[in-house]
Copies of this chain bind each other. A is one copy, B any other.
Amino acid sequence: MSYEETLDDILKNLLASIPEVQSAAIVSVEGLPIASALPPNTDETRIAAMTAAILSLGERAAQELGKGLLEQVFVRGENGYILTMAAGRNAVLTISTTKDIKLGLVFLDTKRTCDKISKIV
């Protein structure tokens, strides 16, 4: 099984285990797409660039306010959530969810997914 297939499977498993997760993408820390499970008509490059921007600002905020290394950025909109978190040193996982999720469960499952990704990328 190729490197890319394995990552695709990890994302598919995440989406299957939490139905409220609408999309998931693995992005390099530079903001380039690595793997993704996105709905049709979603621009992977755009998601990747947005993820990198969120990450970069989160890192600056964490540093300026003495919070050390960035672990996670979480954006809540009126229609749902965007969650971006480090998956090892080289990659970042971004997921988008509906509004009606159990946050604790999502945090736990995405953490496990990031551990898996970090062993591959």
Contacts and interface: CB of A to CB of B under 8 A. Distances in A.
Contact of A57 (B53, B78, B79, B80): B53
A69 B3 CA distance: 37
Interface residues of A, number: 31
Count of chain copies: 2
Contacts of A96: 65-67
A62 B58 CA distance: 15
A112 interface: no
Interface string A89-109: 000000010000000000000
A58 B79 contact: no
Given A61-B82, A68-B78, 16 more contacts: A47-B64, A50-B61, A53-B60, A62-B82, A65-B80, A65-B82, A65-B96, A66-B80, A67-B82, A69-B78, A70-B77, A71-B76, A72-B74, A73-B73, A73-B76, A74-B74
5 nearest A-B pairs in the assembled complex, by CB-CB distance: A67-B77, A62-B77, A68-B78, A72-B76, A68-B79
